[in-house]
Chain A
Amino acid sequence: MSSLSFLDRERSVAGPGYSRWLVPPAALAIHLCIGQVYALSVFKTPLVARFETSETAIAIVFSIAIVMLGLSAAFGGKWMERNGPRKAMFVSAVCFSSGLLIGSLGISTGQLWLLYLGYGFVGGIGLGIGYISPVSTLIKWFPDRPGLATGMAIMGFGGGAFIASALSARLLSGYTSLPADQPPTDALVPAFVTLGLAYLVFMMFGVFTVRVPPEGWKPPGWTPKEAGTDKMMTTANVSADNALRTRQFWFLWVVLFCNVTAGIGILEQAAPMIRDFFPDDVTPATAAGFVGLLSLFNMAGRFVWSSTSDYIGRKPTYMIYLGVGGVLFFFLATAGNTSVPVFVLLACVIISFYGGGFATVPAYLKDMFGTFQVGAIHGRLLTAWSAAGVAGPLIVNVITENQRESGVTGAAAYRPSLLVMVGLLGLGFLANLLVRPVADKHHEAVPDAYPEAVQPEPDAVGAGSRVSATPTTQEGQR
């Protein structure tokens, strides 16, 4: 459709007067919206009442959405790389918003399958495409600080849950005409429609703001490292298909899987866990406060740790997440019940590592595989997230329940599962240690992003430097 041709990659190349600092807000506009999926639980009670069904049946909506997130990120990555971030963000906005609107139709007509199809399936595609859409663009605009750039965007996914949680609660209480002691079932449809339309507008801001850098662009004053000066930061490129054939991809898959599994294991059980550790000191209200505090550390860790990785390197950063994280897990298992502040402090640092692991991985992938198809490779790596989403809660729930059935109560019931997490983090630490530069045979015959032959010209508005010639393939790039 010619009317939608403005979405094409070639139509979204930045011109004079554009600043790279407009790209993070564009990315945040997408991530702040799709982060809503983690606040879906706000609608759980009224949805159960509306459909007169079980909590499990409603929880399936979330599960479908997360599965679709993983699948669309894995399979949509190459399409996204071909078509550019603007079209990907547009598709994400349309899918995510339509998902909410189709879901509202399902709620209105009492058809639960429509909620599964809408929010779960269609909305889930919006989640996956939206999650990966700004990543490679941010990395190309911020080759000097990729960790900072992706940290900002992925922090938005955590922040989006905060916004949606507060906003949804207000919409439900504002639209309902039912007494406060009844679930606000009559407010569900207007709340879903409001969110669907509001998110469409908000995400369109990202669509219209994002730009890809001109070919060969680099920040003013920044000189790319020469090939071979830092072996853990390649100047070559690996395609998404070839990346799957490398050991590095699978080591990083294990790294992400272990880090996320351990973090989810705590997040999933945070409220009951702190109450079981301190039954005399912690009330339901303070347990809810603990969950809120963990969410803040999860979000902050994404930005702080990912930005730090630009200075200390990606491999050492993951050694901290997995090594120090493992030690902290061990203390949590053995000494976590000594006092509430100790427990809270340990859990908060662990969760900041969990968030940091998500945000740092795109920059790690860029270091290993180059910028060529880093968004698509990131999408495929996110299958580790889907797998960890099943493994984390399963490990904690199964082991803890077995302990309780054996008569073990309180903090001791959690000890074996926490120690399993220590072992898992040790495995991730080992996998991270084994990450080495990708062999030359996997490199692509695509031009280096910053050919030596191309000299930058100063940009009039401080957006950076733009090249004066078409990049050519460098010798040695295969």
Chain B
Amino acid sequence: MSPQSSTQDAQTDIEQPMKGLRVRLAFAWAFVGIPLTFGVFETAKKAAALFTG
């Protein structure tokens, strides 16, 4: 194994968990963020009646 490919392998080892963590973070925030956005949007629609009569 050349020194270059060994460095690449080490880099991939670090990047894989980082990528996994990013995916996990994105999923976690979407899991709670989507329902919250839905609730806020529905409430904002009701609140709009204050300005539209």
Contact = CB atoms under 8 A, between A and B. Distances in A.
Contacts of B44: 292, 296
Interface in A15-52: 16-19, 21-22, 25-26, 28-29, 32
Contact of A163 (B21, B28, B36): B36
A296 B17 contact: no
A457 to B, nearest CB: 15
Given A19-B21, A21-B25, A209-B28, A289 B47 contact: yes
B38 to A, nearest CB: 6
A461 B21 contact: yes
B31 to A, nearest CB: 6
Interface of B: 14, 17-18, 20-21, 24-25, 28-29, 31-32, 35-36, 38-40, 42-44, 46-51, 53
Contacts of B36: 28, 32, 156, 159, 162-163
Given A17-B20, A159-B36, A289 B46 contact: yes
Contacts of A17: 17, 20-21
B5 to A, nearest CB: 21
A205 B31 contact: yes
A162 B39 contact: yes
Given A21-B25, A166-B38, A344-B50, A292 B32 contact: no
B26 to A, nearest CB: 10
Contacts of A164: 39
A145 B42 CA distance: 30
A283 interface: yes
8 contacts: A162-B36, A162-B39, A166-B43, A205-B28, A205-B31, A283-B53, A344-B50, A460-B17
Given A159-B36, A461-B21, A166 B42 contact: yes
Contact of B32 (A21, A28, A162, A291): A28
B31 A25 contact: yes
A32 B17 CA distance: 29
A420 interface: no
A290 to B, nearest CB: 5
B50 to A, nearest CB: 3
B32 to A, nearest CB: 4
A285 interface: yes
A385 B17 CA distance: 43
B17 A22 contact: no
B14 A460 contact: yes
Contacts of B53: 283, 285-286
A395 interface: no
A288 interface: yes
Nearest to A294: B47
B15 to A, nearest CB: 11
A296 B18 contact: no
A293 interface: yes
Contacts of B49: 285-286, 288-289, 292
A295 interface: yes
Contacts of B24: 19, 22
A165 interface: yes
